[in-house]
Amino acid sequence: MPNSKDVVKGKADPAATQPVDLATIPEAALLALRLSELPLHIEGTWLEARIAQLYRELEARNISFKPRCYLADEWLTPEGEPVIGIPFYLAHPRLIELQRKMMLEAEGDTDDWCMKLLRHECGHALTYAYDLNRKRSWQRVFGHSSEEYGDTYRFRPYSKSYVRHLDYYYAQYHPDEDFVETFAVWLTPGLDWRKKYAGWKALDKLLFVDKLMAGIAGKPPLRASGRKLWKVSAIRSTLDRYYKKRRQAEAEDFPEFHDDNLRRMFDEGSAKGETRRSVARLLQSHRKSLLTSVSNWSGERRFMVNKVYKAVLQRSRALRLVTEEADTVAVLQLATYLTTLMMNYRYTTRLRGKL
């Protein structure tokens, strides 16, 4: 926007009117931009092809509804609205890179991952478009949408009552998620779900979805469009503020309560000598594998695992912890400790507890 002096003179600030080049803008300047100022659109990007693929999959099943997609602050389907919000960062390679730097991952940044998430969100949009969750038959199979979404959820890794589509056993989170995950599996082209889930209780849910979709085949939706809430073009927050809030929302400041646990596993002292090695250095050299393994085992986001990893690294360095165990044994101890912390956090929203 031109300032008041420029308006009086009838001139605009050239820098203010110059288009933003996301490929070359310095990171500091990029972070200072409001999300609404980002020159983003779906058309002409790789997302356009992914959405077209989703529509083809729906057409192949004779489903008339094609949910409208838009750029939002995250993956979402607003409650009651038959539309799909796609994270803004997926619309440009530079923003995908920034997302990875800030949050350690960019959810949906590959073709396969993006399609999985689109099918999932499509299940939500389809529910609202046809009022599926109001059907008594739907409620008998999946439960009631009115059940409260918790901050965390307990999952049973070996349960055969639920399909496995997205990571972290997401179908076990809520009745709505149970349905949309089942729908996403049903919709996936080339997947023989009858064979894959043979003998599972989840197969009954898939057969129900198959029958439910046959009932709406060729029928227009009750609601074909909806409000595009939390769309990126309306968000005034800067990227810097956006990421600070995201990081604060997904993490907490951890006090130095690791010390006693770490002292039980390792010794304090000098790393000098052939058999004594620094625990901090072990943590640093195995960071990537630890983050990946602990995230997979615990079901927690890598960003959250990284926050705990950093706290453990800081205390290991401050206490000058060393080990005489073989590297494989010491790394396994660290992985077990981190996983215990993350599982405690997942089930109680706290890291504290007897470890």
Q: Determine the average pLDDT of the residues in 333-338.
A: 92
Average pLDDT over residues 316-341: 91
CA dihedral 66, 72, 74, 77 (to 10 degrees): -40
Structure tokens at 110: 């590959």
- Of 144-153, 244-253, 343-352, the range with the lowest mean pLDDT is 343-352
The whole-number pLDDT of residue 255 equals 42
pLDDT band for 347, please (50, 70, 90 cuts): low
CB 313 within 8 A of CB 283: yes
Residue 79 clears pLDDT 90, i.e. is over it: yes
d(CA 104, CA 119): 24
**CA pair distance 111, 115, nearest whole angstrom:** 6
271 pLDDT tier (thresholds 50, 70, 90):
low
Query: What is the C-alpha separation between 35 and 85, in angstroms, rounded?
Result: 15
Residues 6+ apart with CB under 8 A from 196: none
Question: For residue 273, with 0-12 CB atoms within 10 Å meaning exposed, 13-18 middle and 19 or more buried, which class applies?
Answer: exposed
From first CA to last CA, the distance across the chain in angstroms is 56
How do residues 37-62 score in pLDDT, each as one tens digit? 999 999 999 999 999 999 999 999 99
One-letter amino acid at 47 equals L
Task: Give the span between the Cα atoms of 355 and 352, in whole angstroms.
Answer: 8
Neighbours of 43 (CB within 10 A): 7
- Residues 6 or more apart whose CB falls under 8 angstroms from that of 17 comprise none
User: In what helix (H) or strand (E) does residue 71 lie, and over which residues does it extend?
Assistant: strand 68-72
Residue 222 contacts residue 181 (beta carbons within 8 Å): no
Of 226, 229, 228, 231, nearest in space to 88 by CA: 231
**How far is it, in rounded angstroms, from Cα 165 to Cα 185?**
6
Q: What is the pLDDT of residues 109-165, one digit of tens each?
A: 999 999 999 999 999 999 999 999 999 999 999 999 999 887 666 778 789 999 999
Domain residue ranges of the chain, discontinuous segments joined by +: 27-233, 251-348
Please check the confidence at residue 205 and state whether its pLDDT lies above 60. yes
Phi, psi dihedrals of residue 267, rounded to the nearest 5°: -105, 155
* Mean pLDDT (whole number) for 277-293: 92
Whole-number pLDDT of residue 303: 79
d(CA 24, CA 249): 30
Report how far residue 132's alpha carbon sits from residue 175's, in angstroms, rounded to the nearest whole number: 12
- Which two structure tokens, joined as six digits, stand for 346? 């997942």
SS3 category, 223: coil
Cβ count within 10 A of residue 333: 18
